[in-house]
Amino acid sequence: MKAYELLQQVKDLALYSTTGRDSAILQRLNLTQFTLYDMEFHWRSLEKTVDLTTTTNSTFTALPLNVGILYDIRQVSVSPYSKVTYVHPYKLHDYVPQAAIYAFNRPRYYTWFAGNLWWYPIPDAVYTMTTWYYAKPTQMQFTAAGTAALAGGVTLTGTNTTWLTSFNVPTSGTPTNPVYFAYAADQLSDGTYPWALVSSITTNTAAVLASAYAGASTTGAVVMTSDSSFTPEFDPYLIYSTGILEVMRNREMSQMTQMLQTQVQAQLQGLIQNQTSLPDFEDGVQDFAREPILLGDDYARFPFISGNP
């Protein structure tokens, strides 16, 4: 579900019919996301890959801001493809000689410090480093302020809307994280909406959709929302856990709190069983790390390492 849909589900549990608690509930939903992230389990829905490129003669490469844990880095530009070995920052000096004899070659070691990956040997060319990592959740956001008119299926013109200030949008106009649009009147029977991906937001009242909006409306009250960082299997846990935090504010709903706590425990056990990567992750990584050269160029056959050539 999108952030706005999760919010509506929590409001239904807490018997809210007004918008006065919307911001507080959204904050609690984000808190619940980070509670999941901070558990000792590694959820598959937070596993990501990204291709980073080194800069010739530069000692470091910047990491994406959402990197939480690094699993593995593979050099995939030059045959044979190879694993780059992690070294603790305080141990790197054991591998790096004095400045007068710094080596420039294909990197074999890296360390993670101050948001950068530091390489040794220093890259003598541009190399692609496929990085497998565990991502931090992104903050869920939404706005339901104002109305908008839709032209040509994709061009939005808002009135009293706050699109630019409600989301993380750089100067390019493309949202840093996916943002979705729908008309409030187009809610479907299951409580969801015919969301359309937003391709750009240039002002608080101007936005463009990535493809034609599929709902029936072309004017009226609107919603823009981000997505949850987790797959739909986690929706009940997010809803019930956040619902507990809200329901606990009302003494008259103590029995509801107990029921929701039971649901949360049941959901968590199922998620641990079905959505963690530990049972099928550890052995594979250990095998790659132990004999990284055995597969040679065939690393490219694994999409989570480098993608098919």
In tens, the pLDDT along 158-195 reads 999 999 999 988 877 888 889 999 999 999 998 899 99
Mean pLDDT lowest among 69-73, 99-103, 265-269: 99-103
pLDDT score at 90: 77
Strands 67-75 vs 128-135: parallel, antiparallel or unpaired: antiparallel
Give the mean model confidence (pLDDT) for residues 231-253. Answer: 84
The pLDDT mean for the chain works out to 83
d(CA 104, CA 122): 5
d(CA 93, CA 117): 15
Return the higher-pLDDT residue of 87 and 93. 87
DSSP string, 82-139: EEPEE--GGGHHHHS--GGG--EES--EEEEETTEEEEESEESS--EEEEEEEEPPPP
Return the higher-pLDDT residue of 95 and 305. 95
Residues in Cβ contact with 53 at an 8 Å cutoff, skipping those fewer than 6 apart: 61, 126, 127, 128, 129
Q: Which amino acid is at 200?
A: S
Strands 155-159 vs 179-183: parallel, antiparallel or unpaired: unpaired
Residue 295 has pLDDT above 80, yes or no: no
Confidence at 101, pLDDT banded by 50, 70, 90: low
pLDDT score at 98: 55
Query: Which candidate, 19, 34, 29, places its Cα nearest to that of 242?
Result: 29
Mean pLDDT lowest among 114-123, 129-138, 169-178, 199-208: 169-178
